[in-house]
Structure 1
Amino acid sequence: MGLTKWAYSLAESMLTEALPRRWAHSLGAAERARSLSLILGRDSELLEAAAVLHDVGYSPSIAATGFHPLDGARFLRDQEGADERVLRLVAHHSCAVLGAEERGLRHELETEFEMERPDLVDALIVADMTTTPDGEYTTPAARLSEIVQRYGPDTIVGRFIQRAAPEIYAAVERVGSRMADVEAGIQPM
């Protein structure tokens, strides 16, 4: 079974019934990841797999710490033997290190899972942060605002996402520049 087929099947089995909105969001994020294939080349399949799996840590059947990037990556490593690069992307998606810090889990996250290449980390940020909870396209500003409103500005998630906002916007800018270069015929370095 190919990487993406396996990833879709696993994410669907873990999210579709228990967390249908997370499943819709994951499908939308995977669609955004596919839209970045021009700049990802041979890593397109990897990013799409990570995008559809990035929120499996929310599944009630595996939530252990309550921090979904860490719970998801641990499950994928320990129970599924997932590709190391998928693990890194899931563990570190959307500035997760800042969320881990808010929860006192930064050391665990950083020692268990190395960071993946910055261009792939950026691409996963874009895929996640341009997708609504229902899987539709949105702007990063609208997505960040929705997250703060949903959780509240003074909650762990609210504080984390506000701290992460500058890096999220920077990642969106970097990915946008790379896409514009490729579309203009300028080959990436």
Structure 2
Amino acid sequence: MLVPGWAERIAEQELAASLPRRWAHSQGVARQAERLAPALGPDAALLAGAAVLHDVGYAPRLATTGFHPLDGARFLRDSHGVDDRLTRLVANHSFALLEAEERGLRPLLELEFPLSEDQVLVDSLVYCDMTTTPDGSPTTSRQRVAEIVGRYGGDSIVGRFIRRAEPLIRAAVARTEERAAAAGVQPR
């Protein structure tokens, strides 16, 4: 298992009891990261940690701004002293800057957690998140976006954000699938 034990413990502690479905999703995202590991080399464990922790900011006790990428990254940084690369991945997962913009939080997110410059890791985390259902099963990015719009509503902040992000999500998923195939990895 590539997921660092400490990362899994933190995610489980914060999500399993209060948000079991979110915990199932996080575990599924981590499984997707493990499938990609051979294509990532030394960054595989970093991706696995970000995958299991990406939604930790949904935990009710951590939701101070109501924007889970920012709340989760702050918690990891401030309470656990987590590595800067990992906190930036959590803060910016799945094109969070676009949702932050919808919420009026983009300048704050960019200031505290500048977007990671490692496109392979950013794409890989998008892939893992956007090809995993809320229950932790594999899906396509198209089905995942449709599910999110259906759950939140097309006119909600999340619905507007995810529709804006959809072309970027599909491109990141395609790049990740190409990298995985070139490395001989079948991610799903």
Category of TM-score, reference length = shorter chain: over 0.9
What's 2:133 paired with? Answer: 132
Offset at residue 3 of structure 1 (A): 7.1
1:109 equivalent in alignment to 2:106? no
* Gap runs ≥5 in structure 2: none
What's 1:18 paired with? Answer: 18
Offset at residue 174 of structure 1 (A): 0.5
Find runs of 4+ consecutive structure 1 residues off by over 2 angstroms: none
Q: CA RMSD in A?
A: 1.2
For residues 26-65 of structure 1, the aligned pairs below 5 Å read 26-65=26-65
C-alpha distance in structure 2 between counterparts of 1:137 and 1:122, whole Å: 17
Whichever residue aligns with residue 136 of structure 2, its letter is G
Matched pairs, number: 183
C-alpha distance in structure 1 between counterparts of 2:3 and 2:74, whole Å: 18
TM-score, L = length of structure 1: 0.95
1:157 equivalent in alignment to 2:162? no
C-alpha distance in structure 2 between counterparts of 1:3 and 1:95, whole Å: 22
TM-score, L = length of structure 2: 0.95
C-alpha distance in structure 2 between counterparts of 1:179 and 1:76, whole Å: 29
Whichever residue aligns with residue 95 of structure 1, its letter is F
Q: Is the 8 A contact 2:3 2:30 kept in 1?
A: no
- Per-residue CA deviations over 1:165-188 (Å, capped at 9, x if unaligned) read 00000001101111121229xxxx
Cα distance change of structure 1 residues 106 and 160 upon mapping to structure 2, 3 Å threshold:
same
What's 1:175 paired with? Answer: 176
Q: Secondary structure at the match of 1:131?
A: coil
* Gap runs ≥5 in structure 1: 185-189
For residues 78-89 of structure 1, the aligned pairs below 5 Å read 78-89=78-89
C-alpha distance in structure 2 between counterparts of 1:183 and 1:149, whole Å: 35
Q: Is the 8 A contact 2:3 2:48 kept in 1?
A: no
Q: Secondary structure at the match of 2:80?
A: coil
Offset at residue 115 of structure 1 (A): 1.5
Offset at residue 80 of structure 1 (A): 0.9
Q: Is the 8 A contact 2:3 2:52 kept in 1?
A: no
C-alpha distance in structure 2 between counterparts of 1:129 and 1:33, whole Å: 12
C-alpha distance in structure 1 between counterparts of 2:105 and 2:69, whole Å: 11
Percent identical pairs in the alignment equals 58
